[in-house]
Structure 1
């Protein structure tokens, strides 16, 4: 299959009500299938949007004071990279508790981006990243720290970032396809923030939106059923805290072999190596694209690039 990679976005930034932000491309990679290239964000993923929004909101409310506050979070994933980048502009230090299951490459890159990795000795003794964060919060004063725990799985600003920024950005870009009235949004859910925020924003912009949730084979997030799998960022072992199940029209599952095949094919045809979660959604989106029309497009998100997942 030869991909078109048509980028009909005629602008470099869009107004979202939060100030102008640089837009990532929305491309029609094959007839009927639109992909939002969030892998083009600083830090390589969509998570920088939530991190940036959380940090800005906390500074505005006084919960973060640059020069005094240190950010703390339990993540070795894309949110960690987003936090380090979001905080650099304000000279805010970032401390991350990163599970030992994350690759050494990712840990080194987090440090390269500016994060300080904490609690290695505790992790080696069997503590969880959550326990590492809790210990540091409890002992902050004696270590001279004033912490702000971003707590992405409980921080509703994660949803607001996508409802007020990413979603309106996509809606503005969809004007390049003026015939479109209906969108099938193929998404996964870790926290559920981007799924909910984008879906709500597109509905508010006047589009008829059908949401298809993608999960690894054997997982059922709605009922709290999770199996071990290799698709980082989706079905992460807890019911997505921000998910609104009334937004979901259909749930489809994918196998790891299907995801790897999609990732290889997309890399060869387009030159873009995307992450496993993006490839999982792309697997389902590809299967739906044949039913698209001029008025009805399939939309999915390339959440991140695939370099983190090479072993």
Structure 2
């Protein structure tokens, strides 16, 4: 018998499974086939493991950062910060996280457990001022933080901004891994992919890869309304000024947009936990709600629809997600 031993959890990032949602299909009387890309099988529990590993290792190859010398910094609604904290710990980096307000306590606690220095955005006055004038816009806050980091770098601090919002390696990681896996695992036999939009790196990367293989595959993007305060981790991009649209989705890479609300997203997450035993978070619930709209259309009867589940519901137990 040969040993199967990994040197690090880093080696386990990617290759997550596609799972048929038989119970959810039955509950809603669907004739389409819903396939969930279950990203909590990544070793740190979310789809963000992919992009963080790619960004950090690329920066290492280029000599931009080095363990025990560089501090990694990120602004996050949670999952990217958790991945930065964990991978930073594995590689020997100090980590500073700025955490979006309104996120679950679990996310804060997990990052602290990995040794990160975590600050909620409500404790950063200059970012709070930006948020007050932009309806808590994630992109606006990122831009303010970026200038704050530039000032610190100019003062000689050895810090590196992961910058999931603008770093092109975000979409590249999903093109090279997530999109490729979806295509390979379905043997190219799929009709649509549905994903919630945060930084839009997932949507952009998958779209570029899958449509590069078959332009007829439809890409559906799910967003919250502009004034939504409940669907944390995803971003409105159709009814905001151009400068507040995530850069990955400024070019139209999708075929249709669905606007999710708390009721639909929460109900979908609650239902799939009971029908298929898959416990997922808010952005997954929003994506599944969007997939339900598509799967209910007659033209998708007998066809495969992939829906991306970014993370586990275990990071939302302190919220109202599963209390309904």
TM-score of the superposed pair, with normalisation by structure 2? 0.77
The within-5 A match list for 1:37-48 is 37-48=38-49
Match of 1:212 among 216, 220, 227: 220
Matched-pair contact (CA < 8 Å) for 1:73–1:133: no
Instruction: Report the equivalent of 1:13.
Output: none
Deviation at 1:269, TM superposition (A): 1.2
* Aligned counterparts of 2:173 and 2:265: Cα–Cα separation in 1: 28
Give the structure with the larger helix fraction.
2
> 1:121-178 deviations in whole A, cap 9, x for unaligned?
x843634275567546534687x84101111111111011001111112212112xx7
Match of 2:308 among 285, 301, 305: 301
Instruction: Report the equivalent of 1:87.
Output: 88
Instruction: Report the equivalent of 1:185.
Output: 193
Deviation at 1:228, TM superposition (A): 2.8
Matched-pair contact (CA < 8 Å) for 1:36–1:301: yes
Instruction: Report the equivalent of 1:8.
Output: none
Matched-pair contact (CA < 8 Å) for 1:48–1:85: no
Deviation at 1:235, TM superposition (A): 1.7
Match of 1:138 among 131, 147, 151: 151
Instruction: Report the equivalent of 1:57.
Output: 58
* Higher mean C-alpha displacement, 85-94 vs 160-169: 85-94
* Aligned counterparts of 1:132 and 1:202: Cα–Cα separation in 2: 34
> 1:219-257 deviations in whole A, cap 9, x for unaligned?
3xxxxxx21331112125731211154322112222211
Deviation at 1:293, TM superposition (A): 4.7
Instruction: Report the equivalent of 1:233.
Output: 233
* Higher mean C-alpha displacement, 229-238 vs 186-195: 229-238
Structure 2 unmatched ranges of 5 or more: 1-10, 23-31, 128-140, 238-243, 320-324
Aligned residues: 277
Structure 1 counterpart SS, 2:60: helix
Match of 1:201 among 202, 209, 222: 209
TM-score of the superposed pair, with normalisation by structure 1? 0.79
> 1:83-102 deviations in whole A, cap 9, x for unaligned?
12222332111111224433
* Aligned counterparts of 1:139 and 1:206: Cα–Cα separation in 2: 45
CA gap 1:27/1:71 in 2 versus in 1, 3 angstroms: same
Instruction: Report the equivalent of 1:25.
Output: 17
Matched-pair contact (CA < 8 Å) for 2:12–2:43: no
